[in-house]
Amino acid sequence: KASGAQRAEIARTVDIFRGQIVDLTASVFTIQLAGAEDKLDAFIAALGESMVVEVARTGVSGIARGEKTLAL
């Protein structure tokens, strides 16, 4: 959750960690961040846990590009 000056600081932090803001409301950012566990933990620590409402971690995943698909 964020309001006022916090919004600009969060946007800068997302940029530093090479994340993406995928949705934005008046008080909530939805952020996508990919990387190693240490990077994700550092991002949460940089924001402060009180600023984080929810975290979803998928683990290792892959997706094909273009017309190719992944098959198991």
Q: Residue 69 has what pLDDT?
A: 66
Residue of 64 and 33 predicted with greater confidence = 33
- Give the H or E element holding residue 38: helix 37-47
Distance CA 45, CA 60 (A): 22
Residue of 51 and 38 predicted with greater confidence = 38
Distance CA 22, CA 19 (A): 9
Global pTM value? 0.74
Q: Which residue segment(s) compose the domain that 20 sits in?
A: 1-72
Alpha carbon 34 to its chain centroid, in Å, reads 7
pLDDT tier at 49, thresholds 50, 70, 90? confident
Return the CATH number at 25.
Answer: 3.30.70.1150
Count of domains forming the chain = 1
Inter-helix orientation angle 5-16/37-47, to 10°: 160
Mean pLDDT of 57-70: 72
